[in-house]
């Protein structure tokens, strides 16, 4: 008797009962969280094509292409992984977390309960968002469609949002923290995930329009100290960005024009200097020729006088 060994099928091609998909989704979400926190990795290509169904369980393959959780693109890869998982299991009739909640579940450092209990509670909350109370089929269908559209919009915005990894990448850290701590959480996305990373060259200054300012005589590279100003003094004033000082902040065109001007002035100076030297040389040459002519004339006079005296 010959036993033929066959490779375990991919999740996409596996024959699985409809009831089993929900349990597989739970196990996969817990595994993704464990990979992120224990292994410090993000798969970066997680989908039904890189999941094998063997012995009634899911096995993740192609882990060699994963990246560390502090990789610059780790969050983007993780969002795409969670989106692929959601699309596949929702197509099999499984109730899934939105990409936003799934991302929070995977990346949150600590949970108040066990991971499995938290996942079940969050899934129940997702189902309750459709609405409470008794509704007929038409109203219930309408509420489900509205909830699905809202979640789809939320996921779409989240997939395109910027996720800062440090406070240096947040435009206004204090505002972001306050928005994050808002009771309804409405400002979390606007204050945190839509932050714009600041360039290291950016150096914003604040000045008061129409108010005399005392110029700081310190070096260009030193930071100016901010004085304590009361709220009454700042009321009604307009804040504007001040042009940073220093050669590195000057306009490139201005630098170019200034360089051409300096070069032209240098050429004129060299030309004038050369002309002066030539004039001096010409004057010296003329003076030497006059002296030579006078000495020759004097010699001829002496010779003539000598001939007259001797009678030669």
Beta bridge partners of 68: 41
Contacts of 54 (CB under 8 A, 6+ apart): 8
DSSP code per residue over 196-254: -PPPTT----EEETTS--PPP-S-TTSPPPPPP--HHHHTT--EEEPPPPSGGGS-HHH
Catalytic residue flag (residue 45) = yes
Beta bridge partners of 240: 207
Query: What values do phi and psi take at 176, rounded to 5?
Result: -65, -40
Alpha helices in the chain (DSSP H): 20-37, 74-91, 99-107, 115-128, 137-160, 173-180, 188, 231-234, 252-310
- H or E stretch at 112: none
Catalytic residue (choose from 45, 112, 136, 270): 45
Cα separation, 115 vs 62, whole angstroms? 25
Cα separation, 66 vs 45, whole angstroms? 8
Query: What values do phi and psi take at 195, rounded to 5?
Result: -65, 150
Is the torsion defined by CA of 93, 98, 102, 105 positive or negative?
Answer: negative
Catalytic residue (choose from 13, 27, 56, 62): 62
Quickly count: other Cβ atoms within 10 Å of residue 190's Cβ.
14
Catalytic residue flag (residue 56) = no
User: Annotated active-site positions, please?
Assistant: 45, 62
């Amino acid at each position: 008797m010959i036993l033929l060994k066959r490779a375990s099928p991919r999740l996409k091609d596996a024959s699985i009962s409809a009831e089993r998909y929900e349990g597989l989704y739970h196990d996969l979400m817990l595994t993704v969280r464990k990979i992120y926190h224990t292994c410090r990795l993000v798969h970066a290509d997680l989908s039904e094509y890189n999941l094998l169904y063997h012995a009634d369980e899911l096995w993740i393959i192609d882990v060699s292409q994963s990246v560390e959780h502090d990789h610059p693109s780790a969050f983007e890869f993780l969002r795409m992984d969670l989106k692929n998982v959601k699309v596949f299991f929702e197509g099999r009739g499984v109730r899934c977390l939105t990409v936003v909640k799934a991302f929070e579940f995977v990346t949150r450092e600590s949970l108040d309960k066990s991971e499995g209990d938290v996942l079940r509670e969050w899934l129940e909350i997702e189902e309750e968002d459709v609405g409470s109370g008794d509704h007929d089929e038409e109203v219930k269908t309408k509420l489900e469609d509205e909830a699905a559209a809202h979640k789809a919009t939320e996921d779409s915005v989240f997939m395109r949002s910027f996720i800062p990894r440090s406070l240096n990448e947040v435009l206004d850290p204090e505002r972001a923290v306050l928005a994050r701590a808002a009771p309804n959480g409405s400002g979390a996305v606007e204050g945190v995930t839509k932050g714009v990373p600041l360039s290291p060259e950016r150096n914003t200054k604040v000045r008061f329009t129409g108010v005399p300012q005392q110029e700081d005589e310190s070096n260009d590279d030193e930071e100016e100290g901010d004085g304590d100003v009361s709220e009454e003094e700042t009321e009604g004033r307009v804040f504007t960005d001040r042009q940073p000082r220093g050669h590195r902040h000057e306009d490139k065109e201005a630098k170019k024009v200034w360089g051409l001007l300096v070069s032209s002035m240098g050429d004129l100076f060299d030309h004038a200097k050369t002309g002066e030297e030539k004039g001096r040389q010409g004057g010296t040459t003329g003076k030497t020729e006059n002296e030579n002519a006078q000495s020759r004339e004097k010699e001829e006079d002496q010779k003539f006088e000598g001939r007259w005296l001797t009678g030669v």
